[in-house]
Structure 1
Amino acid sequence: MNIEPSRKMSIFEPAIFGDLKAAAAAKQAAGYEVYDLSLGSPDLPPDEKIRKVLSEQSFSEHSYGYMLSGTQRFNEAVADYYKRRVNVHLNPQTEVLQTMGSQEGLVHLPIAFCNEGDIVLTTNPGYVAYDAGIKLAGAVPYYMSLSEENGFLPNLDAIPEEIAYQAKLMILNLPGNPVPAMPDEAFFEKVVAFANKYNVIILHDAAYSEFYFSGDAPSSFLTTPGAMEVGMEINSLSKSFSLAGTRIAYLVGNAEMISIMKQLKSNLDFGIFEPIQEAGIVALNNAEEITESLRKTFAERHKVLMQGIADLGWTVAPSTGGMFVWAKYPYDMDDKEFAFEVIRQTGVVIVPGTVFGSAGAGFVRVALVQDVETLKKAVEQLKTLNLETCATLVNS
């Protein structure tokens, strides 16, 4: 039998994370300690209140039917969270839609709004799911470079007029993955003006909104005047509440856009396990308490890793939030080769920047997913790097 993948499968390249894990396992098998700072998977457990309700609800014999969509209680919890945290008022019936994790929503969203050949404005580097969704829809990505010169924010003025007028959708992620740049109000105001001028739908991926280490409130695109008229925000309970494995997230924003996504979703799945929805409600209703503790932990990790990597002579992208450090290493060496050499010599697992786009060349992403003492040990290991035989210092 001749088994061939579809032509569409050509858009999906094998992920490098499996290869990184294999290299780390080989290092560990040889008797060395490994410091895995690759995947952005929270290492902290969910709050006890969340785990308790998930356990209790899962035991109920009435919890195992199809849900079809998010419950009214879950949608109301999302709306109340936005009202309390960022003073954005949402209609839970028309402006909230549950998704099976943010990745599911991100991959499917371009299918709902883009025809074949439509242009989607996305970032380079950017989270890999954006490209997957764009290409599945048959749309065409136009990459907005995240450069040091522009504070690692997209330069909207650099987008050619002919591209802007053809664009259907813009995807933003601030603070982001892999680059944890923080927007200010002026930037989001510029985004809204751009959307109105060129008739472009805005999707803001707010997965790291609760990962802020200065100021007193999460970042939300929807707080910007006019944002509800031009766009949506997607957020996940994965990072902020350590619920990555439960796959629960939501889209909020423009009611007409939400309605279109709801129509698509009704053809794709039968909703999320009800006990998980109940656990999500507990998380959202106790967000202030839960996320304050999270921020204290990650702020300390952020400080240690930012300073530690800077002390190595690497150039660290400025950040006051997010779950990652984005750093340019001072060696004239391919970033993928560099990442595997780092594992081989030190046991520290980091992600090469070009996984997230061509603009990531010479950079690596380092995740804040280990405790402070482990991060300090990882930095000490990185100090032992000796690349004289396989690379030259950029500034030498």
Structure 2
Amino acid sequence: MSKPVGAAKLGRLGSSVFAEVASWRSRAEASGIDVIDLSIGSPDLPPSERVMRALSEAALDPASYRYPSSHGSELFRRKAAEWMRHRFGVELDPDEELLALMGSQDGLAHLALALCEPGDAAIVPDPGYPVYAASLALAGAEPILLPLKAGNGFLPDPDLVPDEAWERARFVLLGLPGNPIGAASSRELLEALVAKCRRHGVVLVHDLAYSEMGYGGYRPISVLSVPGALDVAVEFHSMSKSFHMAGCRLGFLAGSREAVGALRRLKANIDYGVFGAVQRAAAEALDEAMEPGYSGFRHIYESRRDALVRALGEAGWPVEPPEATMFLWAAVPQPADGARTSSRRFAERLLAETGVAVVPGDAFGGEGEGYVRIALVEDEARLIEAAARIARWLPDYLQEGG
């Protein structure tokens, strides 16, 4: 008798929606449709010339081809600590309170393995980035869902989780602003979360991958800037989105030395770290970000956001502009006959009939039903073209029903 191949836990790794969207896109392209892909949040622009030059020069250095350190080069860790001080006023020990990662997703995927025993519980947002729940499945930990509701501006209300659940949880994981929803957090909310975690002995994990993508004067806040947070909190940062180094796979975890140390011990048994040339280029990117007048890429995304929100509104699909990140979180337009159309059905029809690819909201959890995520990963001309296609299609869709 043959044995099954593949662990049962793989079936709990989360939504298959992303694979479905990829198959819809392949079918559309095979039929000759020009697809405007706004589904995957992969930046369409390269990093700055200075960063690319630094990477090229470092790649020509023979020393770059030795094994890197599993917890990150001294140069990168010290530069990341310097940037945290410059950007957020946070003082970190780069040896004990900072860990380089193969992108923040690497750390998010492994954190529960480092912090939890099988059967433990952790609090995660719904909707939330899929790796949050996937990491718990890999670790054999129970997810306790914290719903993000439109009535609260999609911000977490820690009191929606009962005290009994807080007592069971090993950590709470939130992204403020996050993926798929770019809601802006206040310092008061972060202070309340730190106090709640301190009261219940829970580690606060803050995913701040979009720290440099705030709009309209809003600049995302580090939870580590809250007094006392270093005792109970860690924070993920990424070079992917804000610095357009997504293909380089580099990020870092900062904060509580106990939690950082736990992930460091785990990672030391898994890999040898990130290519040294990439770390040198990332150090250059952080150096550039600390220069006077640096604004990065956020103005590009803010302009794209404004253009697409305006064009979709003119098309008859009003969408609330996010305060941060590279995504719109858009309520699914509902047909005139009153029948409710699922996020998945809407996204499938939108791609098949207009060539515009978006992600159904249920890919991010049950609370995401009724929404789609739209990534601002094309230039303004293509985004306006996407809205124009939707404008031609939407009236018939709303009239005939989903």
TM-score bracket for this pair, using the shorter chain length: over 0.9
CA shift in 2, pair 1:311/1:174, >3 Å: farther
Preserved CA contact (<8 Å) 2:83 2:290: no
- Counterpart position of 2:349: 341
**CA displacement at 1:383 relative to structure 2:** 1.1
Q: Within 2, Cα distance between the matches of 1:334 and 1:262?
A: 42
State the Cα deviation string for residues 202-222 of structure 1 (Å, max 9, x = none).
000000010011326442111
Counterpart code for 2:269: N
- Counterpart position of 1:380: 388
Q: Within 2, Cα distance between the matches of 1:108 and 1:116?
A: 14
Q: Within 2, Cα distance between the matches of 1:350 and 1:119?
A: 32
State the Cα deviation string for residues 163-207 of structure 1 (Å, max 9, x = none).
111111000101110011110011001101101111110000000
- Counterpart position of 1:352: 360
Pick aligned residue for 1:319 from 302, 319, 322: 322
Preserved CA contact (<8 Å) 1:126 1:178: yes
**CA displacement at 1:317 relative to structure 2:** 4.2
- Counterpart position of 1:223: 225
Q: Within 2, Cα distance between the matches of 1:310 and 1:224?
A: 38
Asked if residue 391 in structure 1 is aligned to residue 401 in structure 2, the reply is yes
Q: Within 1, Cα distance between the matches of 2:262 and 2:272?
A: 17
Pick aligned residue for 2:332 from 329, 334, 337: 329
Q: Within 1, Cα distance between the matches of 2:147 and 2:318?
A: 18
Q: Within 2, Cα distance between the matches of 1:390 and 1:3?
A: 46
Preserved CA contact (<8 Å) 1:350 1:366: yes
- Counterpart position of 1:49: 50
Secondary structure (helix, strand or coil) at the match of 1:49 reads helix
Matches within 5 A, 1:1-396: 2-13=3-14, 15-69=16-70, 70-215=72-217, 217-288=219-290, 292-314=295-317, 316-331=319-334, 332-385=340-393, 386-387=396-397, 391=401
Name the TM-score, length of structure 2 as normaliser: 0.93
Preserved CA contact (<8 Å) 1:86 1:218: no
Q: Within 1, Cα distance between the matches of 2:26 and 2:161?
A: 44
CA shift in 2, pair 1:349/1:314, >3 Å: same
CA shift in 2, pair 1:14/1:355, >3 Å: closer
Between stretches 247-256 and 60-69, larger displacement belongs to: 60-69
Q: Within 1, Cα distance between the matches of 2:312 and 2:31?
A: 26
Q: Within 2, Cα distance between the matches of 1:4 and 1:75?
A: 40
Counterpart code for 1:170: V
Q: Within 1, Cα distance between the matches of 2:329 and 2:15?
A: 23
Name the TM-score, length of structure 1 as normaliser: 0.94
**CA displacement at 1:288 relative to structure 2:** 4.4
Preserved CA contact (<8 Å) 1:148 1:317: no
Q: Within 1, Cα distance between the matches of 2:244 and 2:294?
A: 10
Q: Within 1, Cα distance between the matches of 2:218 and 2:75?
A: 27
Counterpart code for 1:200: V
Counterpart code for 2:353: Q
CA shift in 2, pair 1:288/1:306, >3 Å: farther
Q: Within 1, Cα distance between the matches of 2:76 and 2:101?
A: 12
Counterpart code for 2:13: F
CA shift in 2, pair 1:146/1:314, >3 Å: farther
Counterpart code for 2:17: I
CA shift in 2, pair 1:288/1:307, >3 Å: farther
Secondary structure (helix, strand or coil) at the match of 1:240 reads coil
Between stretches 362-371 and 152-161, larger displacement belongs to: 152-161
CA shift in 2, pair 1:62/1:293, >3 Å: closer
CA shift in 2, pair 1:173/1:372, >3 Å: same
How many pairs were matched up?
Answer: 392
RMSD: 1.8
- Counterpart position of 2:337: none
Preserved CA contact (<8 Å) 1:329 1:364: yes
**CA displacement at 1:242 relative to structure 2:** 0.8
> Identity over aligned residues, as a percent?
37
Between stretches 369-378 and 215-224, larger displacement belongs to: 215-224
Structure 2: where are the runs of 5+ without partners? 335-339
CA shift in 2, pair 1:225/1:13, >3 Å: closer
